[in-house]
C-alpha cells in the first residue's frame, strides 16, 4: 500500500514491496473483513428486475465456504481450473473467493463469448468445472461432447441444459465452515485469457501476488483510495483483468463496497442513472465507454453525481475525452496502462499532480517501466520503442498456460515486452503510440492510430472511429478510417470530405485519412478494444 500523499518522485523512490510468505486472495478480500467487521457492506447488486441486494462480508464468507465445500466434494482440487462464465453478480464474486480459498485456478470468461470462443478456452485451460447462468449453460450444451475434460456444469438459475446442476440447490446441503488452503504469493490463482487482438488468445497465469501488485496503481488512479464514503463501479466485465483486478478484488481488499450491474449493451444514460442512484464515488470506465458518455447532453446538470475519481485504461483515451471530463464533470480522468500479462504499471494521479493530457501516466511506485529497443537497451526521452516492464514484479504473470515458447518470446533479458509502441517525454510521462501491428507506416512516417481517432471524434458527425493502414504501392500504407456516425448525419461523399478536411487542418497532411468507410458498428473485444486486425482482414476480401 502507498503511504500518505507525497510528491511523486519521493513516493516512487521510497516505495518498497512487502509481500508476505503466505498470501491467499480469497482470505484477504473476504475472511479477513468477515472476522474484523462482519456487517461491513461488500457488494451492492442491482438486479435486472430493479431490485437491489446488499451483501456484507459475513454472507460472502458463508457463500464462498459452502461453494468451496461443494466443489471439493465434486472432485475439484488444488490446481484444477474452474471457468466462471458469468456477468457482474454476487455469484461471480463469491465463486472467485471460493476458488482461491480452495487453491484452484479461476478462469474468468466473458458472457458475450460465442461457442467457438468458449470451446477454445475451455479445452485449452482443461477446465474441470464451469459455473455459469442459463444462457452460458445452453452454449456449453452445444459443445459439451467436445469438452473431454469438463466434468461438471453449475448454473446460478434454473436451466434445462443437459447435465447442468443448480448451484444454489447444490450449495444448500454444505457447511458454511471451510479451512482455506495455505498458499504462497507465487501459487497459481487466476488465468485470464488475452484479448486475441493479434492472434489466438493465450492463458496468462497469475499467482496470488497479482492482487498485491495491483494495489499501488489502484490507489494512485483513484487519488489515494480508499477514503471515507468510497463506493466503486465499472461497466467493464469482471471477466476482464480491468474489471476484476482493477475494481472488484482490490476494492474488497480495502473493504470498500462494489456496485454490480449487468449491461446487455452499454447504455450511457443508464450509466449516469446508476452512478447517481447509488452515489458512486469511484469509477473505472474504459475509453470507448467514456466516448459514449461524452455524447450525453449536460449530464452534470441532469444527474446528481457524487464522483470523486475516474480511472480509464485499455485503449488510448485522447485529449477530447480528457478535456470533456474536466469541463463537464469537474474531474481529471486518471489514465493508466497495463496488459493482461502485467497490468496497471503506469498511472496518472491528479491528487499529486501526475496528469498530462494525451499521456498514459508515469510508472506506478514499485514498477520499473521503460522504452527499450529490440536489443533490450533503454532508450532516451523522445525516441520511440517498445514499452517494457522489468522483472521481478509481483503483478507480472507466471507465464502462458502450457506455452513456454510464447512465454520466453515475451522477454528480452529481464524486460517483459508489451508489444506496444510508446515514447517517454522529457517530463517522464509515457505516451502510447499503438500496438506493433497497429502502427501505420506511410510515406516514411510512423503514425499511431490513437491521435487520428482522437481527432476524428472531435467532429460533430463522428460517434466512434478506428484507423488502420491500408497497403499502398507508393506510400507503403495509406490511412483508412472506419466511422460510426452520430444520429442525423448521412454516410455520403460530402460528409467524408468534411471529415477529411477537419483532420487535415488539425493534424497534418500525412495524418489525414485518404479513405473513409462508414459502418454501423466497430468490431470490439469483450473489453471494449477495437479489433483492428478484423478491419485489416476486410481489406483483403
E-assigned strands of 211-308?
232-233, 258-261, 282-284
In a domain, 243, yes or no: no
Nearest partner of 362 among 420, 302, 428, judged by Cα: 428
Are residues 270 and 398 part of one domain?
Answer: yes
Mark which of 436, 462, 489 sits at the end of a domain.
436
Q: Are 5 and 359 in contact (CB under 8 A)?
A: no
Are residues 432 and 444 part of one domain?
Answer: no
pLDDT at 84: 98
pLDDT at 541: 47
Mean pLDDT of the chain: 92
Q: DSSP states of 114-143 as a string?
A: -HHHHHHHHHHHT-SEEEE-HHHHHHHHHH
Lowest-confidence region among 194-198, 346-350, 468-472, 485-489:
194-198
Mean pLDDT of 464-488: 88
Q: What is the pLDDT of residues 211-231, one digit of tens each?
A: 999 999 999 999 999 999 999
Q: Does residue 137 have a pLDDT over 80?
A: yes
Are residues 12 and 69 part of one domain?
Answer: no
Q: What is the pLDDT of residues 346-362, one digit of tens each?
A: 999 999 999 998 899 99
Q: What is the pLDDT of residues 112-123, one digit of tens each?
A: 888 888 998 999
pTM reported for the whole predicted model: 0.85
Rounded Cα gap, residues 258 and 280, in angstroms: 9
Are residues 376 and 463 part of one domain?
Answer: no
Nearest partner of 311 among 354, 368, 365, judged by Cα: 354
Rounded Cα gap, residues 313 and 487, in angstroms: 27
Q: Does residue 52 have a pLDDT over 70?
A: yes
Q: Assign 330 a pLDDT band (cuts: 50, 70, 90).
A: very high
Are residues 512 and 373 part of one domain?
Answer: no
pLDDT at 360: 94
Mean pLDDT of 482-504: 94
Rounded Cα gap, residues 6 and 12, in angstroms: 10
Are residues 98 and 7 part of one domain?
Answer: no
Are residues 422 and 292 part of one domain?
Answer: yes
Are residues 448 and 415 part of one domain?
Answer: no
Task: Give start and end residues of each alpha helix (H) in 286-358.
Answer: 287-293, 299-302, 319-324
Task: Give start and end residues of each alpha helix (H) in 351-492.
Answer: 404-409, 449-456
In a domain, 170, yes or no: yes
pLDDT at 527: 60
Q: Assign 426 a pLDDT band (cuts: 50, 70, 90).
A: very high
Q: Does residue 474 have a pLDDT over 80?
A: no
pLDDT higher at 281 or 200: 281
Which CATH number covers residue 530?
3.30.300.30
The residue range of the domain holding 455 is 437-539
CB atoms within 10 A of CB 380: 9
pLDDT at 540: 56
Are residues 376 and 230 part of one domain?
Answer: yes
Total domains in the fold of the chain: 3
In a domain, 269, yes or no: yes
In a domain, 201, yes or no: no
Q: What is the pLDDT of residues 247-262, one digit of tens each?
A: 999 999 999 999 999 9
pLDDT at 508: 67
**26 Rama sector, left if φ>0, alpha if ψ -120 to 50, beta otherwise:** alpha
Rounded Cα gap, residues 335 and 431, in angstroms: 11
Q: Does residue 174 have a pLDDT over 60?
A: yes
Amino acid at each position: 500500500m502507498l503511504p500518505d500523499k507525497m510528491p511523486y518522485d519521493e513516493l516512487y523512490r521510497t516505495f518498497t514491496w512487502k509481500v508476505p510468505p503466505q498470501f491467499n486472495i480469497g482470505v484477504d478480500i473476504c475472511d479477513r473483513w468477515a472476522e474484523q467487521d462482519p456487517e461491513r457492506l461488500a457488494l451492492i447488486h442491482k438486479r435486472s428486475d430493479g431490485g437491489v441486494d446488499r451483501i456484507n462480508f459475513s454472507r460472502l464468507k458463508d457463500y464462498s465456504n459452502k461453494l468451496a465445500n461443494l466443489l471439493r466434494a465434486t472432485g475439484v482440487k488444488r490446481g484444477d481450473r474452474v471457468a466462471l462464465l458469468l456477468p457482474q453478480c454476487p455469484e461471480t464474486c463469491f465463486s472467485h473467493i471460493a476458488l482461491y480459498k480452495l487453491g484452484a485456478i479461476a478462469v474468468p470468461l466473458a458472457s458475450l463469448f460465442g461457442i467457438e470462443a468458449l470451446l477454445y478456452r475451455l479445452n485449452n485451460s482443461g477446465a474441470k468445472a464451469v459455473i455459469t447462468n442459463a444462457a452460458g449453460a445452453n452454449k456449453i450444451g452445444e459443445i459439451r461432447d467436445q469438452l473431454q475434460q469438463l466434468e461438471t456444469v453449475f448454473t446460478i438459475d434454473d436451466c434445462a441444459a443437459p447435465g447442468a446442476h443448480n448451484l444454489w440447490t447444490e450449495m444448500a446441503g454444505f457447511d458454511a465452515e471451510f479451512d482455506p488452503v495455505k498458499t504462497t504469493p507465487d501459487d497459481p490463482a487466476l488465468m485470464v485469457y488475452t484479448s486475441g487482438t493479434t492472434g489466438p488468445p493465450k492463458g496468462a497465469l497469475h499467482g496470488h501476488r497479482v492482487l498485491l501488485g495491483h494495489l499501488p496503481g489502484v490507489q494512485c488512479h483513484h487519488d489515494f483510495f480508499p477514503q471515507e464514503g468510497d463506493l466503486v463501479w465499472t461497466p467493464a466485465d469482471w471477466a476482464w483483468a480491468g474489471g476484476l483486478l482493477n475494481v472488484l478484488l482490490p476494492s474488497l481488499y480495502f473493504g470498500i463496497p462494489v456496485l454490480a450491474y449487468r449491461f446487455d449493451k452499454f447504455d450511457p444514460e443508464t450509466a449516469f442513472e446508476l452512478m447517481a442512484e447509488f452515489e458512486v464515488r469511484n469509477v473505472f470506465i474504459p475509453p470507448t465507454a467514456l466516448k459514449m458518455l461524452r455524447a450525453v447532453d449536460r449530464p452534470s446538470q441532469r444527474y446528481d453525481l457524487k464522483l470523486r475519481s475516474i480511472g480509464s485504461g485499455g485503449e488510448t483515451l485522447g485529449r477530447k475525452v480528457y478535456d470533456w471530463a474536466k469541463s463537464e464533470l469537474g474531474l481529471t480522468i486518471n489514465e493508466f496502462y497495463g496488459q493482461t500479462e502485467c497490468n496497471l504499471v503506469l498511472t496518472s494521479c491528479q491528487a499529486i499532480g501526475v496528469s498530462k493530457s494525451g499521456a498514459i501516466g508515469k510508472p506506478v511506485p514499485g514498477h520499473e517501466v521503460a522504452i527499450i529497443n529490440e536489443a533490450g537497451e533503454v532508450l532516451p526521452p523522445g525516441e520511440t520503442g517498445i514499452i517494457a516492464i522489468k522483472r521481478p514484479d509481483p503483478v507480472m504473470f507466471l507465464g502462458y498456460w502450457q506455452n513456454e515458447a510464447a512465454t520466453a518470446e515475451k522477454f528480452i533479458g529481464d524486460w517483459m515486452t508489451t508489444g506496444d509502441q510508446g515514447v517517454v517525454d522529457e517530463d517522464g510521462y509515457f505516451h502510447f503510440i499503438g500496438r506493433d501491428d497497429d502502427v501505420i507506416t506511410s510515406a516514411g512516417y510512423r503514425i499511431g492510430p490513437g491521435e487520428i481517432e482522437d481527432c476524428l471524434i472531435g467532429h460533430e458527425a463522428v460517434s466512434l472511429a478506428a484507423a488502420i493502414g491500408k497497403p499502398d504501392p507508393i506510400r507503403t500504407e495509406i490511412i483508412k478510417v472506419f466511422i460510426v456516425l452520430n444520429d442525423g448525419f448521412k454516410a455520403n461523399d460530402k460528409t467524408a470530405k468534411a471529415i477529411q478536411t477537419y483532420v487535415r487542418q488539425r493534424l497534418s497532411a500525412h495524418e489525414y485519412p485518404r479513405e473513409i468507410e462508414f459502418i454501423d458498428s466497430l468490431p470490439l473485444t469483450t473489453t471494449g478494444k477495437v479489433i483492428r486486425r478484423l478491419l485489416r482482414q476486410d481489406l483483403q476480401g
